Amino acid sequence: MEEEKFDYAAAMKELEDIAQQVEKPETGIEDIDRYMERSKLLVEKCRGYLRDASIKIESL
């Protein structure tokens, strides 16, 4: 099975959307908790992507 290619731009957009949702007063605590868990995963993936890109650039 082929691994799904990571889309950095889409992840950043999703993080921006999550930030907007969390700032809304009507967003419940349970939703905020779910958004925070998703954000944590996305940030980890973005950091890994940037780390890999940096390594590739340094090796050129």
DSSP string, 1-43: -PPPPP-HHHHHHHHHHHHHHHHSTT--HHHHHHHHHHHHHHH
Q: Please, which pLDDT band fits residue 48 given cuts at 50, 70 and 90?
A: very high
Q: Please, which pLDDT band fits residue 4 given cuts at 50, 70 and 90?
A: confident
pLDDT at residue 47 in the model: 98
pLDDT at residue 3 in the model: 58
